[in-house]
Amino acid sequence: MTSKQRAYLKGLAMKLTPILQIGKGGLTPECTASVDEALEARELIKINVLQNCLDAPGELAETAAARTHSSVVQVIGRKIVLYRPKKDDKGKIKLPQ
């Protein structure tokens, strides 16, 4: 992903509200499945890491991205933004070249 594409996705993510939360249990298999389902439905998602989570948000973002085959767009504070394009080329988000 180029820096121009990442900047475009960051702009889109500003308007999003977090749809998932990671709590003190960390990134469980159930949580990973929820992230995967959300990426399949929306392509671009924002995740909130709660205060009682002992893991660092940056580490959680990398782990979630690796498990779901997605890309980390950004990590700001306790917010994570992930992106994964649709597999069938019918995605809503068209990245700039």
**28, 81, 83 from 54: Cα distances, Å:** 13, 19, 24
Structural tokens at position 80? 């994570």
Q: What confidence tens digit (pLDDT) does each residue in 58-94 have?
A: 999 999 999 999 999 999 999 999 999 987 767 778 8
Structural tokens at position 72? 């980390």
Q: What confidence tens digit (pLDDT) does each residue in 10-35 have?
A: 999 999 999 999 999 899 999 999 99
- What residue ranges define each of the domains in the chain, with the CATH number in brackets? 3-83 (3.30.110.60)
- What spatial distance separates the first Cα and last Cα of the chain, rounded to whole Å? 10
Query: What order do you get walking across the sheet with 20-22 strand by strand?
Result: 20-22, 44-49, 79-83, 71-76
Which pTM was predicted?
A: 0.91
